[in-house]
Amino acid sequence: MKEKIDEFLLEVHGFVAQTVAEVENFRIRFLGRKGLMNDLFEEFKTTSSGEKKELGQHLNKLKNAIQEKIESLQLSHSVLNVSSESETDLTRPAGQIPVGSRHPISLVRKEILEIFSRIGFIVADGQEIEDDWHVFSGLNFPPEHPARDMQDTFFIEKNPDMVLRTHTSSVQVRMMESQKPPLRIVMPGRVYRNEAISARAHCQFHQVEGLYIDEGVSFADMKQTLLYFTQEFFGKAKIRLRPSYFPFTEPSAEMDVYWGLNSEADHRITKGTGWLEIMGCGMVDPNVLTKSGIDPDRYSGFAFGMGIERIAMLRYQVDDLRMFFENDVRFLKQFSRMA
């Protein structure tokens, strides 16, 4: 019996499998209900008491060797990756899996920040769940302002003083409270509005806002800064500033860029005027400076803000805002060479 066990040991050590099926047949042959190990144990029962100790050790050695061989083969990379025809996924695309790319919103955000960094602006970030002071009160929003209404703002149910920020202007307040002028910052981030989702609106979108505060900052400085951005990003050299209203700036303006009327698409998106609204801007209201502990008699500044999705829609001629959020690979792969 000992010679038989030694022969099986040599067979086990020398066994090589090419497929999962061969490994399974090997297991059944030795460890199955009618396998060789069962036959050996039956024969072991009939041996004399003097031989049982030595033969028992050999049997355990053989059993352990079989189990180790099976485990090593099952974990073997060559075996696990050899599949029978029935195990092959015939629907799997052939060839290499294409490499992904940056999202168009990320591409536009990066370019905007790079442009402003060239003229000394640094990037600041802030929390998306904010208190009323930093989102509204610190920015000169009166208590009865419509933006505080449930129609526009997501309030936190268990704490009505906390909201999902409706603009990244809350970062401006925190920066003015924590740092002394001069301040030259841009603030990108995700913001939330309680609006119905459509081709032109979404309950979540992205903004980039900017703030510059120093001694002697003027409206002309703001205009020149925004003209520089327009020339760098769009390649357009003509802008206009129309009077507008924002609680935290005075005077306030909407900035338009002259897009031109060179194609049918230009006529459609500009409604035949050639002008496109890009962002809101204005001189920081002295009340906002005072609320943040900055002396308005010594310092002045300007602020501006734009929606990244709107800029991306213009850059890439996208007609539906929802396409940026649907993760459609057919849409996203168009930007694979722009990362």
Instruction: List, for residues 311-331, the tens digit of each pLDDT value.
Output: 999 888 888 888 998 888 888
Look at the alpha carbons of 175, 136, 304, 315 in this order and tell me if their dihedral is positive or negative.
positive
What distance lies between CA 91 and its chain's CA centroid?
Answer: 29
CB 121 within 8 A of CB 210: yes
Please state which CATH class domain 104-335 belongs to: alpha beta
pLDDT single digits (tens) 90-114? 676 677 766 777 899 999 999 999 9
Q: How many CB atoms lie within 10 A of CB 188?
A: 19
pLDDT mean by block of 10 residues, the chain; 339 residues: 83 84 86 84 80 81 86 66 55 70 91 96 93 91 76 81 91 93 95 82 90 96 96 91 94 94 87 92 96 95 95 89 87 75
Distances (CA, A) of 169 to 185, 198, 210: 11, 24, 9
pTM: 0.68
CB 220 within 8 A of CB 253: no
Strands 204-214 and 300-307: antiparallel
Pure H helices in the chain: 2-14, 20-31, 36-44, 49-75, 77-80, 104-117, 132-135, 169-178, 219-233, 264-269, 286-291, 308-316, 329-332
Break the chain into its structural domains and give their ranges: 2-87, 104-335
Look at the alpha carbons of 220, 222, 226, 229 in this order and tell me if their dihedral is positive or negative.
positive
Bond preceding residue 143 cis, omega within 30 of 0: no
